Structure 1
Amino acid sequence: MKKFSRSYFSRWYIPVAACIAISAIACSTKNKDNAPGTIVPDKNNAELKLPEGFGALKVADSIGEARHLVVNRNGDILVKLNRTRDGKGIIILSDKDKDGRADSNTGFGDYGGTGIALKGNYLYASSNSSVFRYPLDENGLPEKTNAPDTIVYGLIDRRQHNSKSIILDDNDNIYVNIGAYSNACQERDRTKDSPGMYPCPILDSAGGIWQFKANALKQSYGQGTRYATGLRNVVGLDWNRQDQSLYVMQHGRDNLHDLFPELYDVRASAELPAEALYKIEKGDDAGWPYIYYDQIQEKNILSPEYGGDGKKVPEEGKGKNAIDPIVAFPGHMAPNGLLFYTGSMFPEKYKNGAFVAFHGSWNRAPEEQEGFMVAFVPFKGGKPSGDWEVFAGGFAGEGPIMSPGDAEHRPCGLAQGPDGSLYVSDDANGTIYRIIYNAE
């Protein structure tokens, strides 16, 4: 697994002049499902830095704290808001004149949250403790918006890591992240010299992925299955239909220097641990809180709360059998979105590869913050086939970004449109981006 140093970020890529040239011409989306539309990128590609041949436009702006999003077969965008705005937690953006920009903004749902998914004839959406289901009409829009079915309820919500991201497979199962309400399962959370609890009691109801039936009502822990454990918090997850498997992006633990200054200096604490992409099979254990993945040493390391010193490997009963990530990114970039691209608009290299939206974190302080971009991981045969790269940058604006609040935009959710466009949400200023490719 490739090692990445801080200097890696200074070599992202050079924005290509061709991208700017695209903004002066029409880029055909070549949408065969709807009436052909001509989409023109915004000037300077909405200030994003993209590879050659790509363009970007802002579909909508200032809609609220836009978390995850989906696009239906008619091109309508449904966005889950972290907090309700004007009493609405789900926003529907429609493009009546087919110019690529939303000209209609409606909404429903009196709850905030992160998760949203389309599958079959239903829309699924989550609050921080429940998952709801809405039937779709002939236009792919939700019906019975005031009376959804409750699929899952009663999930633990203790404010920290409480977003309930969701995804469905092809066998009527829905997977729900239940994040750990702790940093490292200490007796006193984020407190110096407080030991880690063993065994960690949080894992009984959080710190993992739970599986429920998508076609059953009123399920909670007793009706669900703990599909995987040892995952501190997963905001980005997706079902890879190429190998019929669940993939997740974990947020790594914080405070290594703050809690253990004798073991980790400021730089090490900023870079460690990895933000990790895992392929998840039923019954897997990723090892939290007992271990973390060190992308520099390229191995799992015993957490200091459990006797680790930055070099010790996991012990029996404390992460020894934990799975390894398939890709390890630098620490504290907050991966909030994951999408396997199956469209035909983008060049062949992107087919079946993974896009990851990095939201940007806070725990690199006092170092400069990183993230605030969309990365790409090439896949072949269901496995990574090359090094990850920055696909879309420039969301945060001019640097340096010393605090998350300095970032103008923070990528959160990813969605694929029916024509193969890539949509990116921003929960800092409520912007929805659409990234397209000029195939000519």
Structure 2
Amino acid sequence: MQYEFDLKEAAQKAEQEKKELALQKELELKALNFEYEKKQAAAKSEKEKQQLRFEQQLKRQEIEAAYARKTAQIEAEQKRKEALAKLEQEKRDALNASALALSQAEVQRQSSQRNFFITAFALLAILLGFIGYAFNQKQKANKLLQEQKAEIDQKSTQLEQSLTELKATQNQLIQSEKLASLGELTAGIAHEIQNPLNFVNNFAEVSAEMLDELKEELEKGDIEEVKAIAEDLQVNLGKINHHGGRASSIVKGMLEHSRTSTGVKEPTNLNALADEFLRLAYHGLRAKDSSFNATMEMHFDPDLPLVSVIPQDIGRVLLNLINNAFYAVQEKARQGIEGFAPMVSISTKKMDNAIEIRVKDNGNGIPEAIREKIFQPFLTTKPTGQGTGLGLSLAYDIVTKGHGGILEVNSTEGLGTEFVIRLV
């Protein structure tokens, strides 16, 4: 029968298309696995490998979702063709039945005109019934197809929305970490600004007194004394300008730190950047705990050239590493170990083909169990509520991905930790 042939042909075609889709999907997944196996092999750290696995999983889900939609569309198309084939068969059956009935009616027409009309009307009613039934079936098939399409579109939209929400959440967490680091600096900024402002105020008061003396000497006509006072005033004004510039540079630096990174690299004095954030982080911690004291050592290479970096991003990296170092020595100091003197040092060095920055502390060190995972997101050694677990992860991404450098850690439990940044 034509109906069975159409059904068989539609089923075979749908099955063939699904096999081809399955083969394409398998090839794409194998290609994806092969691509990320190469990337995994080239990855330099567990952090990179985990990020690659995360990206691979997202792409795998996208491939599977795409092929699921295509498979559902093939099945829906198959059902539609089956419904249409069934409809055509019913039409043919109805027409055959109508033709047979009309033929019988024609044979009986000679014997009874009345029976002919009754039969004709009956057959017409049957035919209309079949047509109505066939139309109803077609409507159901179209409705089913639309419902399946709507379901596929809804699932696709949900997947896209989930991915968008995931990216938005990630961006919010990164911004929160940046704002948190700036908040920790607030007390340190106030302390650092207060020092130059005190100098400005003091020299301004002295200068005002010297102006009064200048007026008196002018009235006396002592020109030599007037010249001497004028020279002292010039020195004072130079000092006021110097310390005012110092306060201005602190404010400018913090504004740069708080802005969203432009992603543009510019020649930067890393010695000045490291010195600034070391002092601000220390005084910020002292503002929270006035009993805390630590030795700060700075070993800056005087021959260090200006380095092309994104200053806001490298500043955030240094701030995070320095804050962690001060936190480590503060926690060790609270243990009351006899003879322990908290110390945090930062050094820079020009290498043959790189610039090296080291941040070192003599705290408790990082436990060996988590040392290899220290740069993973949301991993923190601090108590609940005191750390987001994003600081080192962001620092690692800034150095390795944003600047093509290296960030590594050396730590011995009980002796301390040293983070090393190498910028090529």
The two structures have a TM-score, normalised by structure 2, of: 0.24
Please state which structure has a larger fraction of its residues in helix: 2
Please state which structure has a larger fraction of its residues in strand: 1
Q: Which has the higher contact order (CA 8 A, sep 6+)?
A: 1
Larger radius of gyration: 2
